[in-house]
Amino acid sequence: MKYVEDRVSKAGSSKVWLTGHSLGAAIAMLAGKNMAKRGKFLESFLFNPPYASFPIETIFKDNKNVIRGLQLTITVINGGVALALGFSGDEDSFAAISGWKPCLFVNSRDFICHGYIEHFKKRRKSDDFGPLHLLPSSNLTENLSPPEESISPHKLCHWWKPDLNLRCT
C-alpha cells in the first residue's frame, strides 16, 4: 500500500494504474479502495479476483426458486447478525469509494471469481439495501467463452485470445 501511495504522490493518480490476476487482483483492489477513500481514483484492471461466497448458483443451478430462497435467507441472516452486533456497515467508507469503478474481468466458469457476476446483478436490483459487499460498482467484463479442456477457467491465458465471447455490464 505504501508503494502505491508513494507512486501516486510522485506521479499523480492519473499516471498510476493498478492491475493483477487472482490474489494480485485482490491486492490491487485493496490498494484501489484505500486510495479511493482518499479521493484518488486509480484506473484498475483486475483479472479473476477472488470472491468468497458459497456457490449456490452452481450447486442448485436447475432450481431458481431454491437459489432465490437461499439468497434471501442469507441476506436476512447477514442483516440480522449485523444489527445484533451493532455493525453499521461503514456506509461512509462505502460512499467514499463509490466514485471508483475498477474494471473487473471474470470468467463465468471460474468458481474463484464468478461470485462477482451475481453480486453486481444484485447491486443493480437492490441499491436501496446499502453496501452489500466490497464494491459499490465496477465495469464488469464476463468471459463466456468455453475454456480449453486442459486449462483451468481461472488461468489468465483465457483473456489473451482475440475471439473471446464477452459480456460487458
The whole-number pLDDT of residue 162 equals: 86
- Here the cell at position 148 is 480449453
Distance CA(149)–CA(35), nearest Å, equals 39
Alpha helices for the chain (secondary structure H): 2-11, 23-37, 56-59, 64-85, 91-96, 115-125
Burial of 149 (0-12, 13-18, 19+ CB in 10 A): exposed
Give me the amino acid identity at 15.
K
**What are the angstrom distances between the C-alpha of 151 and each of 134, 146, 157, 167?**
29, 10, 9, 21
CA 60 to chain centroid: 22
Neighbouring-strand partners of residue 139: 103
Nearest 5 degrees, angle CA 4-CA 34-CA 13? 50
The per-residue pLDDT for 131 is: 44
- Compute φ and ψ for 83, nearest 5 degrees: -65, -45
pLDDT of residue 9: 95
d(CA 158, CA 87): 40
pLDDT (tens digit per residue) in 18-31 = 999 999 999 999 99
Separation of CA 66 from chain center: 24
Q: Are 40 and 34 in contact (CB under 8 A)?
A: no
Total count of domains within the chain? 1
pLDDT at residue 138, rounded to an integer = 87
- Give this prediction's pTM: 0.73
Range of the domain at 119: 2-168
For the chain, residues with pLDDT lower than 70 are: 53-59, 74-75, 78-92, 123-134, 150
Residue 132's pLDDT is 40
User: What per-residue confidence (pLDDT) applies to 33?
Assistant: 92
* Parallel, antiparallel or unpaired: strands 139-143 and 166-168: antiparallel
